[in-house]
Structure 1
Amino acid sequence: MRWVDGHCDVLSKMWSAKSPLSFYRRDSNLDVTWPLMEQAEVGLQVFALFVPPEVPGGATWQAALAQVDHFYESVVGDGSRMVPIRSQRELAALERTGKVGGLLSLEGAEALQGDLVHLRLLYRLGLRQVGLTWNGANEAADGIEEERGGGLTRFGRRLAAEMQRLSMILDVSHLSVRGFWEVIEWTGLPVIASHSNCRSLCSHVRNLDDRQIRALIQREGRMGITFVPKFVTDDPDRATVEGVLRHVEHVCSLGGEEILTFGSDFDGTDRKIPGLEHTGHLDRLWEALIKRYPETLVKRWTTNNWLHFYSKHLPSGGGFPPRQTDDSGI
């Protein structure tokens, strides 16, 4: 295993495509496919469930379920090559079996429709990670592009409490600044920014400022450097692999070697960095990293930091949530 990728939008792209997209064909119109993952030696891929904002509110739950179905029917299949990762036990088995893992994440709580029953059902279907928002506002919180800049709602706090009971992971990529700090200060959840870069190098609001990055370091969370050109540089037409390395260097300069990871956002954007257009090109990023850093550090950033985090924070085993003993705390 050479790579763990903390975020891709394969499932949303498959769901929204006008004609079927094959995960197992090299010539598929997907950035992440099985042949490309084999080529790059990706051992664990996080697959987001993302429902676009144009989907009517009453249809978001169904859209999320359809994407879960794509995961099990079109990606995992019979389990001969890829397996779902839902627990520490299943994660530990990857190296022993030689298979590749897929972990489900929810990008935006719109699909929950303000109902914790939906969260628990998705948990039973393998969901282990939730980003509260995309860029706008929903029942849980304001996203980073919502002008009022609010934080978590009452439902958002109940959602975070239920996630903590279920031993889930909270993703702050796309969350408003106020929401970020409320998560850090008010919850005990494991926190990641699965696909975010450094605002001191690129001023896009989706990126994290140095204070936020230091908070993730203090929290022993994870930060996935992403390849979306507009998050790499203020002039997306000039985004390069070297620009990605500048974000790596900056996180390290803040003391973030232990939280640094990668979250490609492949299949989530049409604009690509030249030479880093799909998963098969991750070997080029590996070569660029190895030229600059010791292999032990590179291996930490490309695999081990993610693996250690999930080994610590995924449930120990089984697919069933713990029983509720007091509904009043939710």
Structure 2
Amino acid sequence: MNPGEPQGQGRSYFPVVDFHCDALSKMLENPSIDFMADGRLDVTGERLRAGGLRMQCFAIYLSQKRGIPRIEHVLRQIELYRSKVVNAGGLRPLRWKEEADGLANTLGGGPSWGMLSLEGADGLEGNLFYAEMIFELGVRFLGLTWNYANWAADGVLEKRNGGFTEKGRELVKWCNESGMLLDVSHLSEAGFWELAELSHRPFIASHSNARAICDHPRNLTDDQIRAIISIEGRIGLTFVPWFVTDGKEAVPDDLLRHIEHICTLGGEKHLMFGSDFDGIDSWIKGLEHPGHYPALAELLLCHYSEESVKGWLYGNAVSYLASNLPSAPKAE
């Protein structure tokens, strides 16, 4: 079977929204990569079409291989997104509420969309002007940290488990005022609870699972899951094998335990997907790239209603975007 082909196109061939991939950082490391059809990527233009992806969020991840994160590293990935994903790849950039409404109205066909997020505020160098600049360039989600501490806050693997710095609190305030949405997937637990107090906008965990099912620090506790549900945020289930199951090869059925657990906590309307494709070097067997989403949909339909499955694949994500993205400025 061609790796770009969808794995079945029956009633499960639904549109899909995916909230996290790291294709841009791979393209930054190797400029010869062709986004449309390059086997060095998990996420390609061909595979997005094959899997029915209507919107893919592209993270700007600043690899430690590049040394101290700088704004230039952020800007170079934004340019790669513009040139290789939007222009050459044919995806439309999603930035405003009105465009999210357009996505909702074209789920059955029409253009596919891309959206930019920043994974870790490190590259902003503590400068809110840089945050304003990347917002103007289309970034709409900000993951405040990667796994360790930066100028804004502590990451989830920072042993001291600190919260926000004063500059970090200023950043949160600016995000709330500007419409830059916030992502807690790599934030420390102390930072999570501080953000819950600081932010008046609902935030997301773009690529995290349930810690009660798989005890990894990058997964969410039950209290964190309940908190995200209570503010009408979203949780993007991820396909990172070691976030899905302990000590054995991960298979798609293992995701069902996370779905079931989050639903028992009241999160049926708050679940979506954030695969983390291109951010991993091992995969759930049978979920190695976006072209396999139709097979995942078939599996979900064996256990859950079509309404629930549609919500997880696209509906919950689209409703969040339409409710929380800022409105486009009016032309003068």
Output the amino acid matched with 1:11. Answer: L
Q: 1:72 aligns with which of 68, 82, 99?
A: 82
Q: Kindly state the Cα deviation for residue 319 of structure 1 after the two structures are TM-superposed.
A: 9.5
Provide TM-score, normalisation by structure 1: 0.92
Q: Kindly state the Cα deviation for residue 168 of structure 1 after the two structures are TM-superposed.
A: 1.6
- Cα distance change on mapping 1:38 and 1:319 into 2, 3 Å: farther
Question: Is residue 98 of structure 2 the alignment partner of residue 85 of structure 1?
Answer: no
Over residues 219-271 of structure 1, what are the superposed CA-to-partner deviations in whole Å (9 max), with x where a residue is unaligned? 11000000000100121x42110111111111101110111111000000101
Question: Is residue 19 of structure 2 the alignment partner of residue 9 of structure 1?
Answer: no
Match of 1:272 in 2: 283
Match of 2:299 in 1: 288
Output the amino acid matched with 2:191. Answer: G
**In the alignment, is the contact (CA less than 8 A) between 1:14 and 1:21 conserved in 2?**
yes
Over residues 254-297 of structure 1, what are the superposed CA-to-partner deviations in whole Å (9 max), with x where a residue is unaligned? 11011111100000010101100111111111111011111111
Match of 2:4 in 1: none
**In the alignment, is the contact (CA less than 8 A) between 2:172 and 2:198 conserved in 1?**
no
Over residues 149-200 of structure 1, what are the superposed CA-to-partner deviations in whole Å (9 max), with x where a residue is unaligned? 1001111100000001101210000100000000112221220000000000
For the residues of structure 2 that align with 1:78 and 1:292, how far apart are their CA atoms?
A: 39
Match of 1:123 in 2: 135
For the residues of structure 2 that align with 1:271 and 1:188, how far apart are their CA atoms?
A: 37
Question: Is residue 106 of structure 2 the alignment partner of residue 112 of structure 1?
Answer: no
Match of 1:162 in 2: 174
Output the amino acid matched with 1:167. Answer: G
**In the alignment, is the contact (CA less than 8 A) between 2:249 and 2:285 conserved in 1?**
no
Q: Kindly state the Cα deviation for residue 305 of structure 1 after the two structures are TM-superposed.
A: 0.3
For the residues of structure 2 that align with 1:144 and 1:56, how far apart are their CA atoms?
A: 20
For the residues of structure 1 that align with 2:310 and 2:330, how far apart are their CA atoms?
A: 30
Match of 2:10 in 1: none
Number of equivalences: 315
Q: 2:325 aligns with which of 302, 314, 317?
A: 314
For the residues of structure 2 that align with 1:11 and 1:270, how far apart are their CA atoms?
A: 15
- Cα distance change on mapping 1:85 and 1:37 into 2, 3 Å: same
For the residues of structure 2 that align with 1:142 and 1:54, how far apart are their CA atoms?
A: 20
Match of 2:8 in 1: none
Match of 1:63 in 2: 73
Query: Once superposed, which parts of structure 1, at least 4 consecutive aligned residues long, lie more than 4 Å away?
Result: none
- Cα distance change on mapping 1:210 and 1:86 into 2, 3 Å: same
For the residues of structure 2 that align with 1:200 and 1:93, how far apart are their CA atoms?
A: 37
Q: Kindly state the Cα deviation for residue 88 of structure 1 after the two structures are TM-superposed.
A: 1.3
Helix, strand or coil at the partner of 2:302: helix
For the residues of structure 1 that align with 2:327 and 2:54, how far apart are their CA atoms?
A: 20
Output the amino acid matched with 1:15. Answer: L
Helix, strand or coil at the partner of 1:258: helix
Helix, strand or coil at the partner of 1:20: coil
Higher deviation after alignment, 46-55 or 245-254? 46-55
Question: Is residue 256 of structure 2 the alignment partner of residue 250 of structure 1?
Answer: no
* Structure 1 unaligned regions, length at least 5: 321-330
Q: Please tell me the root mean square deviation across aligned C-alpha atoms, in Å.
A: 1.5
For the residues of structure 1 that align with 2:64 and 2:312, how far apart are their CA atoms?
A: 32
Question: Is residue 161 of structure 2 the alignment partner of residue 149 of structure 1?
Answer: yes
For the residues of structure 1 that align with 2:200 and 2:15, how far apart are their CA atoms?
A: 31
**In the alignment, is the contact (CA less than 8 A) between 1:202 and 1:231 conserved in 2?**
yes
Output the amino acid matched with 1:161. Answer: K
For the residues of structure 1 that align with 2:268 and 2:75, how far apart are their CA atoms?
A: 36
- Cα distance change on mapping 1:63 and 1:319 into 2, 3 Å: farther
- Cα distance change on mapping 1:319 and 1:128 into 2, 3 Å: farther
Match of 2:211 in 1: 199
**In the alignment, is the contact (CA less than 8 A) between 2:28 and 2:76 conserved in 1?**
yes
**In the alignment, is the contact (CA less than 8 A) between 1:91 and 1:101 conserved in 2?**
no
For the residues of structure 1 that align with 2:64 and 2:148, how far apart are their CA atoms?
A: 8
Q: Kindly state the Cα deviation for residue 53 of structure 1 after the two structures are TM-superposed.
A: 2.6
Q: Kindly state the Cα deviation for residue 54 of structure 1 after the two structures are TM-superposed.
A: 3.7
**In the alignment, is the contact (CA less than 8 A) between 1:51 and 1:64 conserved in 2?**
yes
* Structure 2 unaligned regions, length at least 5: 1-13
Over residues 64-103 of structure 1, what are the superposed CA-to-partner deviations in whole Å (9 max), with x where a residue is unaligned? 1110001000000168x31100101122223447101111
Match of 1:22 in 2: 34
Match of 2:238 in 1: 226
